[in-house]
Amino acid sequence: MGLVGRHIAALALTASLVSPAWADTISVTPRPLVADPVAGAAPVAVARGARIAVPAGDASAAWTAHYLARLAMRSRGLRLRIGRTTPAIVFVHGGPDLGPEGYTLDAANGAVRIAARTDVGLFYGAVTLWRLMTAAGGRGPATVAAVHIVDRPRFAWRGLLLDSARHLQSVAFVERLIDRMALLKLNTLQWHLTDDQGWRLQIRRYPRLTGVGGWRGAIDPATGKPVRYGGFYSQAEVRRIVAYAARRHVTIVPEIEMPGHALAAIIAYPRLGSSPPDPGVEGDWGVFPAIIDPSEANIRFMENVLGEVSELFPGSWINIGGDEAVKDEWRASPAIRAEMHRLGLADEDALQGWLLGRIGAFLTTRGKRMIGWDDIVTGGTRLPADAAVVSWHADGAARAIALGHDAVIATAPTLYFDNRQAADPAEPPGRGTVVSIEDVYRLDPAPAETPAAGRAHILGVQAQLWSEHMPTERDVALMAFPRAEALAELGWTDPARKDWTDFAARLKADLARDRALGFADDVPGPADAPIDPAHPSRLADQQMRLCTSRVVLNLEAPLEAQRGQRYLVDAMNPCWIYPHADLTRGARLSVAVTRLPFNFQLGGDRTKIPLRAPRTPFGELDISDGCGGKQIASIPLAAAARDPGVTVLEAEAPPTSGWSDLCLEFTQRSLDPMWVVGWAQVDPR
């Protein structure tokens, strides 16, 4: 059974608990505020050639009508027409005040009427109608249950972050992502366009940002050697994407990182840096020491960049990053220390606050609101009063709200969608913590115990698609969906209307809709990988426990020979536990091992990674009865060191007094390369 099959099978038991036929016919995600059956009314038949009526001269409503017609054709092969004679579907401007995104939908007496005071409300009403038309699946004419819907969102900000800095996605992929967001009533795309690994946005005034900073040396999967990798979005492409999103009522918030996460920019223009850049490491992952020197010339440089950004993105927000700025280079610079003294700043955190205050003031002159990661509220930051944060720390929103700022809830790990969705070897690469669809669904961005004044500052919710370890567009799509369905319900649906069992039932229909529209036809499953019948005692590394959980990653092997193979490892402590091994009569131990490049920028934390002294020239795999316990076996790595692929190491374990949790650790003299375990097998005698 493939991933799709396992996923649907896992949902089937939960979904079977929803028995009323009504739940099947009102399959709308995110769940509406009110969805009541109309007593005594027959369902509405939407036949081939059925007409959609829009207000005369209303270009936006007409576009939405054509959008609905295209959805009906793609998903059902059902042709709808736009016109005013004998309409089956009517769009109306007006109705109750349900805020800027609310709408009503009434289906009864042979027609569907969608009413809203705004264009976006009509659009979301049309999306809801499409979901009603496709609730039962199939092709051809559709039936819409007789229903009265009143709907509006819980939060104004319902977003995804797409990281195009670490790995570049095509324009077509970005547009497909926007399409899927719009169908879930997600309305904000934070576009992460710059970082240490690449600068992806064309800035006409500074062409080296993309000409140099848009490229790096990546690993060739066929040879394991670096090759040139990169690219960028032209301003024409950005304008196309922004317009595409606007028609679907998705606002794009560009993110331009500063003062940290700026190695690509500093390599392009070395004068930006506080010290000479370290070229050749742009393909590493982690937190780099490179940081922008906060000189007046560099502030003007950043203002010039943001000036062009402001013209490209008409939305209210610009994200300036501000996170994980390592300030060692500032501390080491006599000129920067002297400037801090002149400005009366107590420390480097205060200097970052002063710098971001300057940037925020500039954005205000451009009619933009500044937003950044919650790191920007440290060090007495002098932010504009209307600045906001994206809160990735557990306490980040509370710190920002205490200072009077708004916050978007984006907390790790639950809203970091580069975390794997299940303990399954087939999961895409990414971070190693398991964050299931249900984990996302049960998160409450603003729990009831939050004071009312604090809840008023919560703009909404956002999930992150960081692409450090997700090199392909398919990886990104599989990690985004279907968890984005749960995210949509977090952002839209009133907490009193949320219900996991009902959601799971609707999710089956949503997966069918995705396939009908030609979106990804496979999704990661929520269940653990099944036992291999040929090797019942074999556990993949994703099924074993890690000894620690510091920097847990699910890494894809770089070599062509291992394409698709992923390895779960704590980069700060490569150590695995095979639980509950039967050694009562002794056993044959088999462990598959290989090497991965250690390409992580960890700063001072690098010294905290244990290096266990080897006893032979190439080191050993040590297997113990529990970490720190009695050693059971020690297998030299000489054969594996000569093999660039996977090597199976074997040893005999002597009888013990009972069952054991086996601890698997490597000895070696250096961190690079990093030895990892692919699977382990225990065959009792």
Catalytic residues: 195, 261, 324
CA neighbor of 467 nearest in space, from 423, 414, 412, 429 = 429
Contact 106, 132 (CB under 8 A): no
Let me know if 318 is exposed, middle or buried by CB neighbors in 10 A (0-12, 13-18, 19+).
buried
Sign of the Cα torsion 429, 431, 433, 438 reads negative
CB atoms within 10 A of CB 303: 16
CA-to-CA dists, residue 216 to 150, 196, 199, 371, angstroms: 51, 10, 10, 28
| CA contacts within 13 A on the Cβ side of 232 | 25
The CA distance from 650 to 635, in Å, is 7
Let me know if 107 is exposed, middle or buried by CB neighbors in 10 A (0-12, 13-18, 19+).
buried
Sign of the Cα torsion 340, 345, 348, 352 reads negative
Tell me, what DSSP letter sits at residue 363? H
Beta bridge partners of residue 666, listed in sequence order: 621
* DSSP string for residues in 460-508: EEEEEE--TT--SHHHHHHHHTTHHHHHHHHHHS-GGG--HHHHHHHHH
Look at strands 188-192 and 251-258 and give their pairing: parallel
The CA distance from 472 to 475, in Å, is 5
Cβ within 8 Å of residue 222, ≥6 positions away: 559, 560
Cβ within 8 Å of residue 586, ≥6 positions away: 652, 653, 654, 655, 684, 685
Contact 106, 112 (CB under 8 A): yes
Per DSSP, the three-state class of 107 is strand
Helix (H) / strand (E) containing 114:
strand 111-116
